[in-house]
Every structure is written in structure tokens, then in C-alpha cells.
Amino acid sequence: MTEVLMVVNGAAYCSDVTYNAVRLAVTLAKRDTVDVTVFLMGDGVTAAISGQQTPDGYYKLDRMLGGVARAGGRLLCCGTCLDARGIGEAMLLPGARRSSMEELADVTLAADKVLVF
């Protein structure tokens, strides 16, 4: 099993960077030989807010990230970053949870590959 850690810093809808990171996370999570952890930090935590309202035809990152969780991937959100943005755990999509720098350090050391977006 290949352990992949993806650290996503970018805002949910500011550029295509976060969108492409989530696309890759979903694709990797579907592979039987890959264990994916997505750590959202900085403005990246906004991608894990449940029930996002976006214009028709626009991608919905919360739904896409839900695909990572449904495929067995982990969705971790920086607690400090959540607090700074006034985002409570009740606002997070199912499968996403509050995390910490300590846990990020642990998953970083355990990962075979670390990708930063």
C-alpha cells in the first residue's frame, strides 16, 4: 500500500489549484493500492464546508471531497485554520474532521509521498 499525503492550502474557489488537487485526491482514493490522506490548511479548510452553494455548472468541492471519504481516504482539517475562519466542526462535510499540526507531522512521517498544493 502506498501512503499519499496531500496538503492543500488554497481557497476553495479562488483558483484551479485546489480543484485540481481534489480531483487528484479522488482519483488516487479510488485505487486499491493507495491510501490517501488530504490535510486541508489555511484557506484550504473552506473546501470542506458542507452544503456549498455554487453557480450552476460550477464544481462543488464539498461533494468531490466526499468522494475521497467514501473511497476510504481521510480528510483532515487544521484546527487552528478552522478557528481563524470561524468554521466549526458541525459545518464540515461528513468524513472530514478537525486535526492538528501534531497529526500532520505524524502522517507526513508515515507517508511514502507528500504532495503540496
Nearest to 4 by CA among 117, 107, 90: 107
Name the band, by pLDDT with cuts 50, 70 and 90, for residue 44. Answer: very high
Whether residue 65 contacts residue 22, with contact meaning beta carbons closer than 8 Å, is answered with yes
Rounded distance, CA 98 to CA 76, Å? Answer: 6
Share the mean pLDDT of the chain.
94
How far apart, in whole angstroms, are the C-alpha atoms of residue 104 and residue 85?
Answer: 19
What is the model's pLDDT at position 46? 95
Position 12 pLDDT exceeds 90: no
Task: Flag whether pLDDT at 35 surpasses 90.
Answer: yes
Helix (H, G, I), strand (E, B) or coil at 2: strand
pLDDT on residue 111: 98
Lowest mean pLDDT among 14-23, 51-60, 64-73, 105-114: 51-60
Mean pLDDT calculated for residue range 42-52: 94
What was the pLDDT predicted at 69? 94
Asked if residue 99 has pLDDT above 90, the reply is yes
- pLDDT band of residue 37 (cuts 50, 70, 90) is very high
Q: Is 40 helix (H, G, I), strand (E, B) or coil?
A: strand
